[in-house]
Structure 1
Amino acid sequence: MTKKAYITSNSSPSLGERWLFAGLLTIVAAAPLPLGSNRPLPMAILCLCSGFLLICWALLWRFKQTSFHAHSKTIRWALYGYGIVCLWIAVQWAPIMPAALTDPVRQSAADILKTGIDTRLSVNPNATLTGLMHLLVYGGVFWLSFQLTRASERAWIAIQAIAWIGTTYALYGIAVYIAGNDWVTIYPKWTYRESLTSTFVNRNSYATFAGLTLLAAIAVFTRHMVPFFAMKHPLRSKIVLIVEEVVAKAAFKTLGVISIAIALLLSASRGGVGSTIVGLLALAIIYMARKKLNLRQISGLLSAAIIAAVIVYSVGGNHLSKRLPDDLVQSNLEVRTDIYALVWEAIKTSPWKGTGFGTFEDVFPAYRQGDESSLILWDKAHNTYLENALELGLPAVILLNLSIALIAFQCLRGALTRKRDRIIPAAGAAATALIGLHSLVDFSLQIPAISILYACLMGIAVSQSWSQRKT
C-alpha cells in the first residue's frame, strides 16, 4: 500500500471480469467500423454498451469479484476536474437558469412569440446533451481500462489488441485503396477520393487513429526486441540475430508496424503525419531517457530507424510528398487564421458561461457575416481548444484540458521512474503529445472512435504508471 495509490488484489481474474475486459476491447475494436461512429445510431449503441459495462463492473466490485480495484490519489484531481466539467455541461443543458443569464437569442424569440422563455444556457440543449453523452462514454472507457489493466499481463494484452486493431483497419484501408478507393465501408466514397481513410470519412481523422495505434504497435515491437539489443554479442552477430527475428519470428509484429505506417502515409494527412512523428519522437525520448547508451548504440538505433522510415516512405509516401508543396497550403492557412480570429471574437461575447457544449455549428454562422468564405460550412473550428472554449467557456475548458494534462503527467512520471514496462506509460504520454498537437489544427477528438481509443490507451498507461511492487 502506498500513499499515492490504493490497489486491492483478490486473486486471478474472475469469469465476469474476463468477459468485462473482452467487452471493453470489443467497444474499442468496433467503434471505427461505422464511419468512426460519428453518426447518432452507432454512438448511441456505444453509449449503451459502455454504460452496461460500467454497471457490470460496479456489481463485480460491490460483490468483490474483481481481482484489482485501483483508485489513485495521483489522478484524483484529474477525475474531479472531469466530473466538474460534466456537471457544468449538465447545468448548461438544464432549464434552471435565471432569465437574465440565458442565451439572448432565446430571450428575443420569447419576446417575439410572446411565450415563456426556456431558461437554459445552451443555445441547443439537444446538442449539449449529446455532447455530454459522448464525454461520459469516453470517461467510462478510461475508467474501465484503468481498472481492468492493473495486472501487467492484461495491460500487454490490451496494448497488443490495440496494435492488432490498428493493423486490421490499416490492411483494410490499403486493400480498398489498391482496389480503386471507391468505398468507405458500405458507402460509395464521396470525399477524399485520392486518400486512404479506411473506415473513416476524413483523412485527418484516420491519420490520428493510425498514429495512436502505431504507438501501441511500436510498444509491442520494442518489448519483443529489447532483449536482442541488450545481448552482448559481436555487432555482426547481433545484426544477423535481429534481422532474423524481425523478418521471421516477429514477422506479424513487424507487419503491424509497417502496415499502419504505410496506411498513415497513404492518408496524405499533413497534420496527422506530422503529429504522429512528434508522438514517435516523444515516445523515443521518454523511453530512452533513463538508458545509458554509448555513441555506437545510438548510431545503430538511428540507422535502423532511418532505414525503416525510408522503406515505408518509398512504399506509401508518394501521395503525401505531392501535397507538401501544395499552393493551397498558404491560402488554407490564411482562411483558418481568419476563422480562428472569428472564433476568438465569439468566445469574448460569452467567455465565462459558453454557448453550450456541442453548439459550435449553431452559434458560429452568426459571426461570419461579411466573411469571404461564408458560403462554406464550418461545422467544426478545426481547433479543438478554441471550439471547446466557445462552447464551455474559458474556466471549464481550462479545467478540462488541465485534467487531461494531469493524467499525461502521471504517465510521464511513471515512464521516468518505473523499471519494468516503462514503455506503456511512455506511450500514454506520447499519445497525448500526438493528440494535443493535432487538436491545434483539426477536430479528431470529436470523432468518437478516436476519443474512445485515446481514452482506453490512457487508462492502460495510467494503470501501469506505478510499480506492481507498490500494490
Structure 2
Amino acid sequence: MKTISRTIPVVFFLLSFGIVLLTDGGVYPSSLAVAVIFMALALAVAGLLEGLHRETSGLFGFVLVLWLVLIAWTSFQALSLPSGLFANPAWLSLREAGIEAPGRISVVPGDTIASLLPISLPFMTLLAALLLFRSDRQVESALQVFALCGGAFAVFAIVQSVLFPHTLMFAPKTHYIGNLTAPFVNRNTAATFYGLVAVASIVSFALAAASSAHRRGRSSDRQMPRRAWVLLLMALAAVVALALTRSRGGVAASFLGCGALLVTLAIHFAGKKTSLPMQSAGRKAWGRQAALALVTLAVVLVVGSLVFARAILRAEVQAIDEGRLCIIPGIWQAIRDNFILGIGSGSFRFYFPAYRDPDCGLAATWFKAHNFYLDAMLALGFLVSVAMFVAIAAMLLRVYGTGLRRRKSKKPVVLGGIAAILLVALHSFPDFSLQVPGFAMSFALFLGLTATISLNSTDRRSIRNL
C-alpha cells in the first residue's frame, strides 16, 4: 500500500510534466489546463497520503501562502468594484465612447483570470516536489532522472536541429529557423532550460564521483561508476544544445551559473578531508577530483568565451534591430502610472502600445516586457511585486544558508541550487523564461529538490545506483 500511495501521485506528476514539455512548453491553453489538473491531482493525493514533511513544512507553508496571496490579488484586480472603485483610467475611454462597462483594475480581466493557470503551475510543482521527494535518496534519484531526461531532450534537439531544422518536436517550425529551440518555441527559453539541465547534470556527476571516491577509499575498486560517465555526457549534450540556441542572454547566464558552480565544487572537493584509512591516498583522490573540476572549468571557459564571442558579434550586427532597451523607458512610465495597483497579469500586450515609443519601430507586437521583473511590477503593481521579491529572496537565503552550514556531505546539491538561482535570476533581466510554464515548472522542481536536501537534518550518504 505504501508503494501504491507513492506511485499514484508520481504518475500524475510525470504526466503533467510530459504534457507541458511535449506541447511547446505548455503555451497552449488546453494543454496547460490538462497539465494543471494532473499537477493538482498529484499535489492533492500526495498531501492526503503522505502528509507534510517535517523538515520542509516551513518552506511548504511559505510557498502556499505566497501562491494564495498571488491568486487573491490577481482575482481582486479582475473584479468589478462598486462605483468603479480603483478602476484603471483606461476604462474611461469606453465611457467617453458611449460604451458602459464596469471599471476594473485589470485592463483585460479575462486574460488576468486566465493567467492564474500559468501562475499556479510552478507553485503547485514546487509544493508537490516537497511532498513527494523527502529523503536524500529520493531527491538524489530525482535529480539524476531530471539530468538524464534533460540530457535526452538535448540529444533529441541537437539531432533535430541538425537534420530537420524546419521541424519543432512533431510539427513544422515557423520561428527561429536555424536556432535550436526544442522543446520550446523560443530560443531564449530553450537556452535557460539547457543551462538548468547542465547544472543538474554537473551536480549529479559530482555526487556520483564523490560516492565513487568514498568507495575507492574502502576497497580496491578504481572504476568510476557508469552512471557518472553518462551524467557527464548529459552535461556535455546540454552545453552543445545551449550553444546551438545562439541565445545571447541564455548563453551568458548559463556560462556564469555553471562557471560559478564548477569553481565552488573545485574548492569544496579540494578542501575536503577524509576520515578513512590511508588519508594521503584519500587526499590524492580528492586532489584528482579537484583537478578534474578545474580542467572542466577551463574547457567551459574556452568554449563559453567562443560561444559568447559569437553572441556578441550577433548583437553588434543586429543592434539596429534590437528594441528591448528602447522600450524600457515606456515600460517604466507605465509602471509609474500604475504604481500601486498594476494593470493585471496578461494585460501587457493590450496596454503597452499606448506607451510604446514610435522610434523603437512598429514591426512587431510586444506580448511581454522581455524582463520578468518589469513585467511583474507592471502587472501586480510596484509595491506588491517588490514585497514578493524581497520575501522570496529572504526565504532562499534562509534555505540555502542552512544547507551550506548543515549539509556538508550534500554541499554539491546546495551549490547547484544556488547556481540555478543565479542563472535564472540573471537571464530574467533580458527575457521571460519564467513566464513560460514548461520552464517555470522545471525550475520549480529543481528548487524543490535542492531545498529539501538543504533543509533535511540527516547527513548520511544516500547515493542509489540507477
**TM-score (norm: length of structure 1):** 0.85
* Deviation sequence 1:284-335 (CA, Å, 0-9, x none): 4555665563999497245421465389x49xx97765433232354356x3
Q: Is the CA contact 2:60–2:130 (under 8 Å) kept in the aligned structure 1?
A: no
Q: How does 1:262-301 map to 2 (within 5 A)?
A: 262-285=240-263, 287=265, 293=271, 297=287, 300-301=291-292
Larger mean CA deviation between 453-462 and 72-81 belongs to: 72-81
CA-based RMSD: 3.1
Q: Is the CA contact 2:201–2:235 (under 8 Å) kept in the aligned structure 1?
A: yes
Q: Distance in 2 between matches of 1:74 and 1:199?
A: 30
Aligned to 1:381: 369
Q: 1:343 aligns with which of 331, 356, 359?
A: 331
Q: Distance in 2 between matches of 1:409 and 1:288?
A: 22
Q: Distance in 2 between matches of 1:155 and 1:425?
A: 12
Larger mean CA deviation between 104-113 and 286-295 belongs to: 286-295
Q: 1:24 aligns with which of 13, 16, 23?
A: 13
Q: Distance in 2 between matches of 1:140 and 1:231?
A: 38
Q: Is the CA contact 1:445–1:451 (under 8 Å) kept in the aligned structure 2?
A: yes
2:427 counterpart of 1:443: no
Percent identity over the alignment is: 24
Q: 2:224 aligns with which of 245, 248, 252?
A: 245
Q: Is the CA contact 1:415–1:423 (under 8 Å) kept in the aligned structure 2?
A: no
Q: Is the CA contact 1:346–1:390 (under 8 Å) kept in the aligned structure 2?
A: yes
Larger mean CA deviation between 203-212 and 279-288 belongs to: 279-288
Aligned partner letter, 2:143? I
Aligned to 2:275: none
Aligned to 1:121: 105
2:24 counterpart of 1:45: no
Tell me, which stretches of 5 or more residues in structure 2 are unaligned?
273-282, 461-466
Q: Distance in 1 between matches of 2:264 and 2:67?
A: 26
Q: 1:83 aligns with which of 56, 63, 68?
A: 68
Q: Distance in 2 between matches of 1:470 and 1:195?
A: 43
Aligned partner letter, 2:114? T
Q: Distance in 1 between matches of 2:227 and 2:27?
A: 38
Tell me, which stretches of 5 or more residues in structure 1 are unaligned?
1-11
Q: Distance in 2 between matches of 1:397 and 1:130?
A: 19
Q: Is the CA contact 1:410–1:462 (under 8 Å) kept in the aligned structure 2?
A: no
Aligned to 1:328: 317
2:296 counterpart of 1:305: yes
2:92 counterpart of 1:107: yes
* Deviation sequence 1:95-120 (CA, Å, 0-9, x none): 235414112222331343352x3232
Aligned to 1:255: 233
Change in 2 beyond 3 A, CA 1:50/1:98: farther
Residue 430 of structure 1 deviates from its aligned partner by 1.6
Q: 2:154 aligns with which of 170, 173, 186?
A: 170
Change in 2 beyond 3 A, CA 1:340/1:232: same
Q: Is the CA contact 2:19–2:31 (under 8 Å) kept in the aligned structure 1?
A: no
Aligned to 1:143: 127
Q: Is the CA contact 1:50–1:141 (under 8 Å) kept in the aligned structure 2?
A: yes
The alignment partner of 2:359 has SS state of: coil
Q: Distance in 1 between matches of 2:123 and 2:161?
A: 34
Aligned to 1:4: none
Q: Distance in 2 between matches of 1:469 and 1:438?
A: 34
Aligned partner letter, 1:309? V
The alignment partner of 1:120 has SS state of: coil
Q: Distance in 1 between matches of 2:180 and 2:25?
A: 14
Aligned to 1:59: 48
The runs of 4+ residues in structure 1 deviating greater than 6 Å are 230-233, 317-320
Larger mean CA deviation between 354-363 and 299-308 belongs to: 299-308
Aligned to 1:8: none
Aligned partner letter, 2:242? L
Residue 34 of structure 1 deviates from its aligned partner by 1.0
Aligned partner letter, 1:448? P
Q: Is the CA contact 1:287–1:415 (under 8 Å) kept in the aligned structure 2?
A: no
2:203 counterpart of 1:224: no
Aligned partner letter, 1:160? Q
Aligned partner letter, 2:344? G
Aligned partner letter, 1:245? M
Q: Distance in 2 between matches of 1:249 and 1:118?
A: 61
Aligned to 1:134: 118
Change in 2 beyond 3 A, CA 1:291/1:305: closer
Aligned partner letter, 1:256? M
Change in 2 beyond 3 A, CA 1:119/1:441: same
Q: Distance in 2 between matches of 1:403 and 1:324?
A: 35
Aligned to 1:95: 80
Aligned partner letter, 1:19? I
Q: Distance in 2 between matches of 1:167 and 1:302?
A: 20
Q: 1:363 aligns with which of 327, 339, 351?
A: 351
Residue 401 of structure 1 deviates from its aligned partner by 1.9
**TM-score (norm: length of structure 2):** 0.85
Residue 458 of structure 1 deviates from its aligned partner by 1.0
* Deviation sequence 1:61-85 (CA, Å, 0-9, x none): xxxx559465533674554344323
Q: Distance in 2 between matches of 1:411 and 1:26?
A: 29
